[in-house]
Amino acid sequence: MTNHSEAAGASGTEQVTLRNPAELAEALPFLLGFRPEDSIVLVALHRGRFGGRVRIGIPERLGDWPAVAEEMARCLVSGCERRDGIPDGIVAFLCRDPKNRETRQQAMEHLRPLAQMLRIACGRLDVPVVEALCIADDHFWSYSCPVEECCPPDGTPLAKSGTSVTAAAMTYAGVQVRRPLREMRARLAPWQTAAVAEQERALDAAAMALVPRILSGAPRAEVAGETLDLAQRVWRRFAQASVGGDTLEADLRDDEHLGHDEAARLILGLQDRLTRDSAAEWMEGDEAPLALRLWRALARRCVGTYGEHAAAPLTLAGWVAWSLGDKVEAGEALDMALDADPRYVFARLLSQACSADLDPELVRRSLRKAREERSLAPPGTGSEEVGDGDAPDVDVRSGIGEDAEAAAGREAEASTGRPGVENSEDAAEARAMRALEAALRRRGARRAGAGKGPAQAGAHATRRPQGRRRVGRQGTRRDG
């Protein structure tokens, strides 16, 4: 669930007045900073002004709707109460385009029970839903208005993007709309191209090279230093490349400047917490945009059975985006990191802090301190002695010197009854061992397929041990 406290890009000085449901529907992308898709959005009202807002994807299972409605209402009202007081009212938006050959009117009717659940959930908290709108296929309906002359059954067309009075007023006020969420997620999602097999072979080779070094007792600081040096060389290469804007086309050019072997070494190196925490220090100044491009590129290279390894670069991408002030991309990246590994504590902690509208300066300050202390430390001391259960001296909730990841683990244990952070073995080594085992299994499968027909050999080469990976992700992954 994403929590937004103010209109994206608004300066806070200009006022935009919305007079009717049509203007509310047209204003939604400006309120969030992006065009929501398959989303439930609740926006609080305080004395006629917009306040906090929350968004979440519409669950596919209808049985999940009541719980989601209750949680969204609770999250919005409690968040507003801490900042601005209990809202006077709430505006609800349900956004979903037609699916499976349904008409836009059928899509609207499908979501009508969800709108009623949101009304009931907000009413239980003594906050009324003053308007509930459905937006589908560039049309909108009001669930609160029964008058056909005002709200026809086929819906009311939305004004073309950027042409309405509302859009003009919002643009004049400095409010901008980002790209759709699906495009944002596409920049972070694993490749779906012919290069996937080559990238996975590079990851296998990197795993087989790295694990023996770990088992032979190579210092963690040595492996971390090699990974960070390579990362800096790559993002400096990005800086020298001619890139026109922050777009999908720019991502393609970045991919051309990142080799498969380099990506594999970086992805596996970032699985170590010591390395990842040092990489998180590239979060401001000229370093931050280049690091963000690198973390996106690495997330796209976590293909095949290496999907859970994306948690590290996705978390770093989310952190840098948040540090740069882009909470929309930060929320999406951190959500994707938790999809890749629900036990990744650093992603969970950052997601909670970002959703709670905390100041990222608290984290930046601690990371700057860690960087300064490391630069002053004598060579060969300290860093290799850090255990995997340790964490950076960061607490984004209070700014005090508490182990933030351990604290988040305690919260998870208190809320779920299950252990949050486990330290019974070196998680980086365990993760590397799983990667090595998978690589060896695939190598054996490819050899077994040699000499058979091309199609048959290829079938062996691309088979994925999915069941084992899922067990490993839930049962043995302990780093975060």
Q: What angle do CA 167, 56, 245 make, to 5 degrees?
A: 50
Output the pLDDT for position 221.
83
Contacts of 20 (CB under 8 A, 6+ apart): none
Give yes or no for a contact between 75 and 46, defined as CB atoms under 8 angstroms apart.
Answer: no
Between these two residues, 452 and 124, which has the higher pLDDT value? 124
Residue 248: pLDDT over 80: no
pLDDT digits (tens, 9 = 90+) for 171-204: 655 556 666 778 888 899 999 888 999 999 999 9
Between these two residues, 460 and 48, which has the higher pLDDT value? 48
Between these two residues, 448 and 254, which has the higher pLDDT value? 254
| Band of residue 169 on the pLDDT scale cut at 50, 70, 90 | low
Mean pLDDT of 236-254: 78
pLDDT digits (tens, 9 = 90+) for 268-311: 999 988 899 999 999 999 899 999 999 999 999 999 999 999 99
Output the pLDDT for position 276.
93
Give yes or no for a contact between 304 and 464, defined as CB atoms under 8 angstroms apart.
Answer: yes
| Band of residue 242 on the pLDDT scale cut at 50, 70, 90 | low
Output the pLDDT for position 472.
34
> CA distances (Å), 143 to each of 69, 123, 270, in order?
16, 16, 48
Starting from the edge strand earliest in sequence, which strands make up the sheet with 2-4, in order? 2-4, 49-57, 39-46, 89-95, 129-136, 139-142, 156-157
DSSP assignment of 160-205, as one string? Answer: PTTTSHHHHHHHHTT------HHHHHHTTSPP-STTHHHHHHHHHH
Half-sphere exposure of 401 (CA within 13 A, CB side): 2
| Band of residue 425 on the pLDDT scale cut at 50, 70, 90 | very low
Output the pLDDT for position 406.
43
Instruction: Report the share of the chain in percent with pLDDT over 70.
Output: 69
Residue 444: pLDDT over 90: no
Number of other residues whose CB lies within 10 A of the CB of residue 417:
7
